[in-house]
Chains A and B, each alone.
Chain A
């Protein structure tokens, strides 16, 4: 670990903690009421969903349009688990139950992702997109007809375990894990498949294995997102996890920039908060939303950050040295 890295770690840690303190004060002084807190929690969940989708859509470069299906699996399996665990009456602190439920949701979804990914990843591009839509619809319709989890009426009686305090820290941990995954040898191998699959194979990368790995890791984190969602809403119903929800997540990833995790974070915040802010003039809401998308596609088709990552350290340095702020975006824009 060299000096620059250590500096970056310290700056990021400080900013994470100070951001939390800002929220903490806002909550304590009642500036942030329950409504805003709800938006903040949903934003955190959407950040997790968008980042996990970015592993497949951005790193691997494949079109996956069935992310809501994976979220549904995570939500249902974790909820089913936590209800069963609560029923045993075993005295466990809430946070432990939540973490166990998240792990169950993540692992079950990861296994499903592995099973779905193995056959489907032979397909490419839009064909894969269509197959993933198909699978997520199958999952949704399965839950509509599956009586043990309440069928179409949904699964009730989940203990509400998620609040802003724990979801904030869980999100931070997941952001860090996905970041480090992208910068490990596994992440590099997956990115090389996006760049050129034949060359990647010729460089000694077992491409099929890494494609399935990317899909599995992506669905693992999607499952965790689903688990958080279930334990925040305290109620899950299949209709929530429709095709439009998958598209919503895909739009976030595309807007933020395919392959840019910081882009996904920013876009998830904007696209979760914006519709809420536009609630006042409801009839124009969709208009503004789609206008934002069109403007984006015309002026920045590569997404907000393209493939580069926003670096806080470089941003601060450029502020101090009054250099071009653009340099703070890692790697810079070449086009």
Chain B
């Protein structure tokens, strides 16, 4: 079953075509990598898929619904959430609050009920609290629940960002360079985490990554882009042998 499909999406900034006729089809429960040299247009593709940019032309379908011109928060509600290349946590809030904010759409009480703290407020807040603690526990971050996000170690901040993205219960999780700035041990742990959440939450994962070990290690399918165009697509082994890919990365 196709969860997310992009058909011929093109993004032009003035005269520059950043992404040209890009196609993508993500099946349920797939783990797909998106790689390419610097400036190839990977993050632009991400930004189109998550509603930050509106493609110049083309169509994006998420769960049988077009998401062109939808706002980022609508797309999150429809089931696609993301993390950022440079970590974007709510730094002055605790880890638990970070997750609770992303759980927002499942908490059901209005402003008046919240201000007067009716019974509904307490039951809903209790439910949210329990769910979010459970989510942190899955990431072994229960002990950090009351730590301010900015005081967490780097690896934990990355994990917290993934936990936050999962709190909105997505069907597709998009990770933008999750291993950036990590040492090999942390990267290995991250690989395990990504594998684990894919199976645990039964979701599709699309990730941009420069760390070849991580991409080749966990991705079932890899898409290589260069100058905004798909130049190769296939299993890690196929990609490694593909002459186009070698040329894009190493030159002629």
Give the B-binding residues of A (Cβ under 8 A): 1, 177, 180-181, 184-189, 191-192, 195-196, 198-207, 213, 217, 307, 331, 334
Pairwise interchain contact A206-B73, C-beta atoms closer than 8 A: yes
B22 at the interface (CB under 8 A from A): no
Pairwise interchain contact B50-A202, C-beta atoms closer than 8 A: yes
Point out the residues of chain B lying under 8 angstroms from A1, CB to CB.
122
Q: Report Cα–Cα, A335/B107, bound state, in Å.
A: 33
Pairwise interchain contact B93-A192, C-beta atoms closer than 8 A: yes
Q: Report Cα–Cα, A187/B72, bound state, in Å.
A: 20
B115 touches which one: A184, A200, A201, A203 (CB < 8 A)? A184
Pairwise interchain contact A180-B73, C-beta atoms closer than 8 A: no
B19 at the interface (CB under 8 A from A): no
Q: Produce 1/0 per residue, B94-122, CB < 8 A to A.
A: 00010011101101010100111100011
Pairwise interchain contact B88-A199, C-beta atoms closer than 8 A: yes
Closest to A186 in B: B111
Known A180-B117, A184-B115, A203-B164; further 4 A-B contacts with Cβ < 8 A: A185-B114, A195-B91, A204-B81, A205-B104
Pairwise interchain contact B88-A198, C-beta atoms closer than 8 A: yes
Q: Produce 1/0 per residue, B143-158, CB < 8 A to A.
A: 0000010110000000
Q: Report Cα–Cα, A213/B168, bound state, in Å.
A: 22
Point out the residues of chain A lying under 8 angstroms from B93, CB to CB.
191-192, 195
Point out the residues of chain B lying under 8 angstroms from A196, CB to CB.
88-91
Which 6 residue pairs of A and B lie closest in terms of their CB atoms, listed nearest first? A184-B114, A204-B76, A195-B90, A199-B88, A203-B102, A192-B101
Give the A-binding residues of B (Cβ under 8 A): 50, 52, 71-73, 76-77, 81-82, 84, 88-93, 97, 100-102, 104-105, 107, 109, 111, 114-117, 121-122, 124-125, 128, 148, 150-151, 164-165, 167-168
13 contacts between A and B (CB under 8 A): A177-B115, A184-B114, A185-B107, A185-B128, A195-B89, A195-B91, A199-B88, A201-B73, A203-B76, A203-B81, A203-B165, A203-B168, A204-B77
Q: Report Cα–Cα, A308/B52, bound state, in Å.
A: 33
Point out the residues of chain A lying under 8 angstroms from B116, CB to CB.
177, 180
Most B Cβ at <10 Å: residue of A187, A192, A204, A307: A204
Pairwise interchain contact A192-B90, C-beta atoms closer than 8 A: yes
Nearest chain B CB to A225's CB is how many angstroms away?
A: 17
A180-B117, A184-B115, A213-B111 known; A202 vs B151 contact (CB < 8 Å) = no
Most B Cβ at <10 Å: residue of A181, A192, A200, A202: A202
A188-B100, A189-B104, A334-B148 known; A199 vs B71 contact (CB < 8 Å) = no
Pairwise interchain contact A188-B97, C-beta atoms closer than 8 A: yes
Point out the residues of chain B lying under 8 angstroms from A198, CB to CB.
52, 84, 88
A180-B117, A185-B109, A191-B93 known; A204 vs B104 contact (CB < 8 Å) = yes
A1-B122, A195-B93, A196-B90 known; A203 vs B104 contact (CB < 8 Å) = yes
Point out the residues of chain B lying under 8 angstroms from A192, CB to CB.
90, 93, 101
Point out the residues of chain B lying under 8 angstroms from A202, CB to CB.
50, 72-73, 76, 81-82, 84, 88, 165
Point out the residues of chain B lying under 8 angstroms from A200, CB to CB.
90, 101
Pairwise interchain contact B117-A188, C-beta atoms closer than 8 A: no
A177-B115, A334-B151 known; A207 vs B109 contact (CB < 8 Å) = no
Q: Report Cα–Cα, A203/B163, bound state, in Å.
A: 11
Pairwise interchain contact A199-B90, C-beta atoms closer than 8 A: yes
B92 touches which one: A181, A186, A195 (CB < 8 A)? A195
Point out the residues of chain B lying under 8 angstroms from A307, CB to CB.
92
Q: Report Cα–Cα, A310/B77, bound state, in Å.
A: 36
Q: Report Cα–Cα, A186/B117, bound state, in Å.
A: 13
Q: Report Cα–Cα, A331/B125, bound state, in Å.
A: 20
A205 touches which one: B73, B92, B115, B150 (CB < 8 A)? B73
Closest to B122 in A: A1
Q: Report Cα–Cα, A14/B71, bound state, in Å.
A: 48
Nearest chain A CB to B182's CB is how many angstroms away?
A: 20
Most A Cβ at <10 Å: residue of B84, B104, B128: B104
Closest to A204 in B: B76
Closest to A188 in B: B101
Q: Report Cα–Cα, A205/B71, bound state, in Å.
A: 10
Nearest chain B CB to A8's CB is how many angstroms away?
A: 13
Q: Report Cα–Cα, A27/B77, bound state, in Å.
A: 57
Q: Report Cα–Cα, A78/B162, bound state, in Å.
A: 50
Point out the residues of chain B lying under 8 angstroms from A334, CB to CB.
148, 150-151
Q: Report Cα–Cα, A180/B105, bound state, in Å.
A: 19
